[in-house]
Every structure is written in C-alpha cells, then in structure tokens.
Structure 1
Amino acid sequence: MEYCTERDLDSWTRYLEGWEAQLHLDSGDLGHARARAETILRHPELASVGAIQPLVTLAHVRGRTGEGDVDEPLTRVWALASGTGEMQRVAPAVAARCEVAWIEGDVARAAAIAAETWPIVESADCSWNRGSVARWLGADRPDADRLEAFGGLAVIGPVAAPFAAELAGRWREAADIWESLGCPFDRSLALARSGEREALAEAVAGFDRLGAHAAAARTRAQMRAHGWPTSRTPRTSTRQHPAGLTAREREVLDLLEQGCTDAAIAEQLVISRRTAEHHVSSVLAKLGASSRRDLLKMGSASRADG
C-alpha cells in the first residue's frame, strides 16, 4: 500500500485497502472492518472491481451484527461480481449471501445459493474460494445425509482444511483449525452449525465477544428450539455506542483525547504499535474526523456546547 500510494497508483491502493478490510473482518475486528470498507466505498473514483471486496466485507459485518441494511451491499456486490463471471469475484459474494441466509435462519436458501453458483466455482483451483462456497452445499444436514444433500453436486478437488472438516461434519476439528488461523467468527460459526449443546453455548459466547449480535441471536434461537437454556443477550446500552465504537475503540478515544501518541496508546493498552494505528484510524473514521487535531477540536466544541 505504501508503494502504491507513493507512486500515485490509486486504483491499486484502493484495491489493497479492500483486502485490508477483509483481514480485519477475518481477525474479528468488525468495527474496523466496517470503517475501512465504508471509507473505501466513499472514494469518488473507485473502480468497479475495487468495490467488490469492501462491499463483501460490509455485507458480512452488517449480516453478523444485524446493524444496517444488509440487502444493499449484497445486491450491489452480486451485480458487480456476477457480471465478471470470475470465480475470484463470484465466490466471496456467494459466501456472503449464504452466510447472511444462515444468520437469517434460512438454511435451505443458503444451500440453494451455493448450489446455483457451484458450477462456476467447482472448476477453479483456489481451495479457499471453493471451500467458502462448498461449505454451504449441504448446509447443516446430519452427517449421514450430507452426501445426499449435495444432490449430485459432488465436491471434486481439494478444499482448504477447515472447509474439508466442515463438509465431513467434523465441526470441532474445523473450529480448532479456524482458531489456529486467528479467525474467531468462523470458529464460532463452525461450532454453531454443529447442533451440539456445548458447542452452541461456546458459539454464542464467541459471537457476543465479537459484537456479532445477529449471529448470536440466531444461535440462541437454535438452543431454545432444542429446549436448552441460553445466556442472556448483552444489554443494548453496554454493547452500543452512538458512533459505533467498540469497547477497545472507546479506550483508544479516551487516550487520544488525552493527547497520547500511537506509541503511548500501544504501551497503555499492551498492544502492538500497528494495532494501535489501526484502532486510531477506525476511531477517526467513525467519528468523521480527518485528523487527531480535528478530533480534539470536535471534543472541545462538544464540551463548549455542553
């Protein structure tokens, strides 16, 4: 990104920023993923191909949290991705559509979406993109019925390890692999799809920690359907912030208002300098501040108004 920025390669910079948003999503930082994606999508000269990844990220965030209109980014990204006919564009869009369908409780729709687009993805050589779609082909069927659930759509060729475990119904193994990769949402998703009481309880706790409130609600509904007790839903007052800041970002905001540098923030919160920089960028974006100075001015104006 630095290389591209220094050479005014703006299209490539936006494209890489889209993947940076995806990395935040994968690592469980939904707030930063949302902020980065929304910032990219506001760019006036964003190329169509550069909009696909941030739209996918935004759809995942809204689907997982239940905050914001999820249909808008899903519709936009599917129009862009399907128009290319390329697996590397289609698969992420399909995966987002399937995940949202699952969160909304429509398992059959998730499987149908995956089956409809599987012919495009099946022949591709990327085991991760193939797996992201294949995981939904026999969505949530009992182990004995999973092959029949594919309806003849045999998964030919390799898929990445966590997806292979999911397709075999080895949900705990899949969850362990996702955890080793640093993907907390996918870990909880694998546990939630297992249908096992203890795993579902773990999934709810994991979703709650991430702020994935819609996914947590979906899993709690599964538990109630079995007659199993569930943990309480976090209070709205404790999980929401007027600007959508996470608990960590509120800590960063407090330190920013004290005039702390990125290095000082990292030291205070016992995080890396790079992580501190990411949190600062997210806070500024969510609060609509263009710089630290702008943020401090906003704070001064707010106190004066008070």
Structure 2
Amino acid sequence: DEAIRYGDEAVTVAQAVRFPQMEVHAAVTAGTARFFLRDPAGRSQVEAAVRLGREQNLGEFAARALNNLGLLSLWRGRPVQALDEFERLVEYTQARELDAWYIAAIATRATLSVIHGRWDQADLDLEVVMGQRTCRQTEIETLNTAAILRARRGDPGAADLVEDALSSVESFDDYEASVTACALAMEAAWIGLIPLEEAEFRYRAMLRSPVLATDNSGRGVLGYWASRLGLEPPEGRIPGPAGMEWDGRVAEASQSWEERGYPIEAAVTKAMLPDANLDAVFSGLSRLGADGVIRGLRRELQRRGVARIPRGQRQTTRRNPSGLTERQAEVLSLMVSGLSNAAIAEKLFISEKTASHHVSAVLAKLNVSSRLQAVALVNSAGWPDQRGLN
C-alpha cells in the first residue's frame, strides 16, 4: 500500500516538473505493487510506463519497465506472453548497449525457453550469459536454468550441475532464490539425480517460511513437485494447474499447463489420468529430447503402481541398439561423416556447445570414449542407414 501511495505521489510530482525518468520509475513501482494486490490497473500502469520510457528513449528506465512487464506475465503464469516481452527487452537493450540489462534479459529468456521446450535456444542464451560478470541474482538464475535443462535432457554431468546450482544459493539469503532451489532439488530427486531426503529437507524448510503463505507462485511450483514426489501439499489454496491436479481435475490441469506454454508439465500431468495414452505421452517427451523427464515419469508411475509403462523411445531409438534419440542419431551420423563439433553445430543450426553436449551423450550411450570408437562401432554393428540410423 505504501509503495502505491508513494509511487503515485512521485508520478504526480514528476509530471508537474516534467521529469519523465522519475515518472517512469515511480509508475513501474506503483504498478508492480498494484499487481501484487491483484489490482488489474497495475499491469496497465506498467504498460503505460513502458510506452513513455520508449517514447522518451530513457534507456535503463525503459529497460526496467520492460523487465517488470515481462515478470508480471511470468508471475501470472503466462510464460508465452512473458517470452514475447523479454524478446522486446533483449532487442531494446542490445540496440542501446545496456549491457547489464541485456545479459539479465538473455538469462531470463533462457529460463523461459527451457519452460517452452525451446532447448536449443536456451543453450545459445546460456552460452552468452555463463562466464559473464553478472549480479548474484542473474548468476544463480543462470546456473539453475542450466541445471534444469541438463537434468530434463538427461545430459551427462547433470547431477554435478544440479549440486553446483543448489550450492550457489546456500550463502544467498533470498526467498525467491530459496524457492527456485527447492523446486530444482525436488525435480532432481524426481528424476533420480539426488536423494529424495535432500529434496524433502529443503521442501519442509520452505513450508516453514511465513512468506510462502502469501506467495501464490511459490505454492503453485512447490505444490506441483510435491504431487510428483508423493509429499503433502503446502498449506492453503494451491493456484493454477497444480491446484487443479490436487483437486482431482487432472485432465483440466494438463490442458491448463498446455495453454500456458508448459509442454513438460502438461505431458507429465496427462500421464496421471487413469485412461492416459502413455505411449503417446512418452513419444511426445521423446520428441522434445526429454530423456531425464522420461526417467522421472517412469519412476513416478512405478511408485504409483502402474503396471504397463512404455519404454518411451521413438521409432529411431528402437531401430538402433543403444537407445539414441532422433537428434543423437542425427549427430552420430554426422560424426560418422567426419564432421567436427563446429561443423555439426552449423549443419543442425545449434550452438557448438549444444553440439558438444549431444556428442558426449552419444559417446556415453554407445559406451565408448572417442569418436573413432563410435564410428568403428557403427560400422561393425551394420546399422542400415548411417545417414540417420533410421
């Protein structure tokens, strides 16, 4: 309430003295506060601040307004809209060489790309951000996003990156970072990368936080992962599709996840339906390259006593003896052709770092330690179509 009152007063003063920088800054503050009080005028106020900031070419003031607008969409559970707004922020800050805001926007775009299943784009963004000198909050967000991405894909070394991400939060006394770390730990435990006890310890610590009672977003995220792990939900109403699932409206929850732009959560929730077409669910996850998610879903279905659980591999995978996904088979065929990581990246329109991750995953699945051994194995195995192994 005080943020709104002081913000509105500052807007009035700024308009009177024709100080647009103050007007934009104060309007963003007041509008964001209104949003948290569920006042629909809050978003409109921030949108107006964005327009003024861009019209007046106010640099960092306009960047802050664009950033908050994207965050409001994300907090409302609208990541598709948030991604569009952060795309605008990336374009704006890059054109004006606002480096700190640009890096922060790229980091958040990577997070949103992971949510949407746009994992090659997330890899590109993470490659830009990681290694840069950033604020602690951006550093933690980037490490957390990278850990989720590697865990969901089932990349080699994902468990180590998860531990690094969790450790990075230990000395950072911040509620939002604690919620993020708790959700990461719960997802990692679901996949089988860390012990369940470690995730449960973090979860119970978060349940004792008085802030959680007023944090709809936090209760929704933790409520979703509590359902996945068979733990009790947070106290109070759980908002969004996670709450729908807890209420037994599983089909509605899955559809809501899909509409909001969360393909992983939509697929996993759909698998909880009594008459779920698990073959279709696993096939869809395979097309995303979500090997880690498939592993976690299989573990959950086993815990729930589901008798018939698909292998979750695509047709390409079933046609070769090493369980390669379509993308991995494609990478292997290019390795057989003698292409380097850089050439593979150019051929597949991905980053060299992403190509390197795919190559490492291929070598691990083939149980070999070098490209030469991989090529020899393909030749000796006699797979009929080495161009695609399909």
| TM-score normalised by length of structure 2 | 0.54
Which residue does the alignment assign to 2:116? 27
For residues 27-76 of structure 1, give each alpha carbon's deviation from its aligned partner in whole angstroms, at most 9, with x where no partner exists.
Answer: 11123223322331132x23322112221211111111111322333233
Contact 2:140 2:168 survives alignment (8 Å)? yes
Identical pairs, percent: 20
Q: Structure 1's 209 and 110: CA in aligned 2 closer, same or farther, altered over 3 A?
A: farther
Contact 1:118 1:134 survives alignment (8 Å)? no
Q: Structure 1's 286 and 124: CA in aligned 2 closer, same or farther, altered over 3 A?
A: same
Which residue does the alignment assign to 2:235? 155
Which residue does the alignment assign to 1:70? 158
Cα distance between partner residues in 2 of 1:195 and 1:140: 16
Cα distance between partner residues in 2 of 1:37 and 1:26: 14
Letter of the structure 2 residue corresponding to residue 42 of structure 1: G
Structure 1 unpaired stretches of 5+: 246-252, 258-278, 289-306
Contact 1:11 1:46 survives alignment (8 Å)? yes
How much has 1:231 moved relative to structure 2? 4.7
Which residue does the alignment assign to 1:179? 258
Cα distance between partner residues in 2 of 1:237 and 1:80: 32
Q: Structure 1's 56 and 232: CA in aligned 2 closer, same or farther, altered over 3 A?
A: closer
Letter of the structure 2 residue corresponding to residue 207 of structure 1: L
Cα distance between partner residues in 2 of 1:203 and 1:111: 27
Cα distance between partner residues in 1 of 2:210 and 2:109: 24
Structure 2 unpaired stretches of 5+: 1-89, 318-323, 335-342, 357-390
Query: For structure 1, which segment, 234-243 or 173-182, has the greater mean C-alpha deviation from structure 2 after superposition?
Result: 234-243
Matched, 1:217 2:306: no
Q: Structure 1's 199 and 91: CA in aligned 2 closer, same or farther, altered over 3 A?
A: farther
For residues 199-239 of structure 1, give each alpha carbon's deviation from its aligned partner in whole angstroms, at most 9, with x where no partner exists.
Answer: 54443223112110122134345557633152552321633
Matched, 1:230 2:230: no
Which residue does the alignment assign to 1:4? 93
Cα distance between partner residues in 1 of 2:116 and 2:206: 27
Aligned residues between the structures: 245
Query: For structure 1, which segment, 5-14 or 21-30, has the greater mean C-alpha deviation from structure 2 after superposition?
Result: 5-14
Which residue does the alignment assign to 1:296? none
Contact 1:18 1:50 survives alignment (8 Å)? yes
Cα distance between partner residues in 2 of 1:287 and 1:31: 10
Cα distance between partner residues in 2 of 1:32 and 1:228: 35
Letter of the structure 2 residue corresponding to residue 213 of structure 1: D
Q: Structure 1's 171 and 38: CA in aligned 2 closer, same or farther, altered over 3 A?
A: farther
Which residue does the alignment assign to 2:102? 13
Contact 2:250 2:273 survives alignment (8 Å)? no
Letter of the structure 2 residue corresponding to residue 210 of structure 1: L
Alignment equivalent of 1:96, drawn from 173, 184, 187: 184
Cα distance between partner residues in 1 of 2:109 and 2:229: 30
Alignment equivalent of 2:125, drawn from 24, 36, 57: 36
Q: Structure 1's 70 and 18: CA in aligned 2 closer, same or farther, altered over 3 A?
A: same
Report SS of the residue matched to 2:124.
Answer: helix
Letter of the structure 2 residue corresponding to residue 86 of structure 1: D
Cα distance between partner residues in 2 of 1:191 and 1:99: 17
Cα distance between partner residues in 2 of 1:77 and 1:69: 13
Query: For structure 1, which segment, 6-15 or 106-115, has the greater mean C-alpha deviation from structure 2 after superposition?
Result: 106-115
How much has 1:16 moved relative to structure 2? 1.1
Letter of the structure 2 residue corresponding to residue 187 of structure 1: A
Cα distance between partner residues in 1 of 2:162 and 2:214: 25
Which residue does the alignment assign to 2:223? 134
Greater RCO, CA 8 A, separation 6+: 1
Contact 1:63 1:214 survives alignment (8 Å)? yes
Matched, 1:208 2:208: no
Matched, 1:115 2:115: no
Letter of the structure 1 residue corresponding to residue 157 of structure 2: D
How much has 1:115 moved relative to structure 2? 1.8
> What is the root-mean-square deviation of aligned Cα atoms in Å?
3.4
Matched, 1:168 2:242: no
